[in-house]
Amino acid sequence: MLALLAPGQGSQKPGFLSPWLDLPGARARLNWWSALAGVDLVHLGTEADADEIKDTAKTQPLLVAAGLLAAEHLPLHDVGLLAGHSIGEITAGSLAGVFSSETALTLAAVRGREMAAACALEETGMAAVLGGDPDEVAAAIEAAGAYAANVNGAGQTVAAGSAEAIDKLAAQPPAKARIIKLQVAGAFHTPYMATARAALEELAGGITSHDPRRILLSNADGAAVAGGQETVRRLVRQVTSPVRWDKCMTTLADLGVTAIIELPPAGTLAGLAKRALKGIEIVTVNTPDDLGKARDLIARHGVVPSTEPGVSFHVAVSPAAGRFAPAEIAEGAEVTEGDLLGRVLTRREPVDLVAAHTGVLVEWLASDDDPIAAGQPLARIHPGGIL
């Protein structure tokens, strides 16, 4: 299985979108998205300096636009799994079919503006904690009065909090760990972003959403998200909650992901994956010249394509934690919406796993008596009937 990853804030570089403007229609697409986002994406991606693109209100829609623009040139119907880091979750959600690219850019723009406004309310900051024992790192962050805003795995945690808390952590680092203060506007993914979350909650009910057509992982816990409305709710809550990218990478390993493509501006998530997921192939897409390598990787590791253009897959996810008892349905058999796919045996009582879509059960993603978590993908269903 192949995973397509969308990076988060901090991965941007001056001029990184310049080579993409040579592609037919790219400038027009960015101009349209600029109108929706209220920022000049062409200028930000080509001419703006490093200080300008550090502005949260501008960076967030810029990153979403970059990922969506590159993904338009890839065969997404063969991609089995999507995940994004922080603002990258909006990119991933759009590519999974939860909402349109227009909704993604609008949502990213509001999120960026509101988080920037929240940063201006109080002096806060973030710092990377590199190395150290994970339990000792967590304890040191808590003792300093800060929050573990990003738990990225591979020996990297990002702390966030008041300027005083970050200074205290830097002065008293955990054993065998380095502290690097980050040049960011404020304490993202902590309670300091409460006003931004409240603003997004007011908009969430008006977003038209659909169930993900591919496995879509959540930063909250690394689990797959089952529905469109739940995806939107999680995106809103994530503004004040830590990014658990470590759990996303654990899910990639558990599902047997064999290859990863990181969308532009690529490099950060690929670096984490190289250290945490041994033996997988990785392609970073930073310019159109990288698209050929990405397409080749998808051809070799992606979902087996059908003859139907634009085909996508539905994923049945676990409704609870427990052990899986699949129904006696062979891979390749037709299932109908409402059919019993199996049960999750919990400590209290069995919970039914029911097909939400009619189609062909292409692949079981868990076996009999496997321990499973709530939200874990259990089966992939092709919606088009017999393959």
Q: Which domains does the chain have, with CATH numbers?
A: 2-118+191-301 (3.40.366.10), 120-182 (3.30.70.250), 314-382 (2.40.50.100)
> Active site residue: 189, 301, 314, 382, which one?
189
Report pLDDT for 315.
80
> Are 332 and 361 in contact, with CB atoms under 8 Å apart?
yes
So what's the pLDDT on residue 343? Answer: 94
Catalytic residue among 86, 101, 241, 318: 86
pLDDT, residue 312, reads 59
Closest CA to 269 of 6, 3, 2, 1: 6
Spatial strand order of the sheet with 177-182 comes to: 147-153, 156-162, 124-131, 177-182
Q: Count the helices and strands in the chain (H runs, E runs).
A: 12, 17
What is the DSSP secondary structure assignment for residue 18, as one 8-state letter?
A: G
Splitting the chain (387 residues) into consecutive groups of 10 residues, what average pLDDT does each group show? 94 96 95 96 97 94 98 92 97 96 97 96 94 94 96 92 96 93 90 97 93 91 88 96 94 90 96 92 97 95 54 73 92 91 89 87 90 82 64
| pLDDT at site 293 | 97
- What is the model's pTM? 0.82
Q: What is the pLDDT of residue 384?
A: 63
pLDDT at 308: 41
86 part of the active site: yes
Q: What pLDDT score was predicted for residue 94?
A: 97
Determine whether 162 is an active site residue: no
In this predicted structure, what is the pLDDT of residue 317?
82
DSSP 279: T
Q: With 0-12 CB in 10 A as exposed, 13-18 as middle and 19+ as buried, what is 74?
A: buried
What is the pLDDT at residue 372?
86
**pLDDT value of residue 304:** 47
Give CA–CA dist 327/263, Å, rounded.
Answer: 37
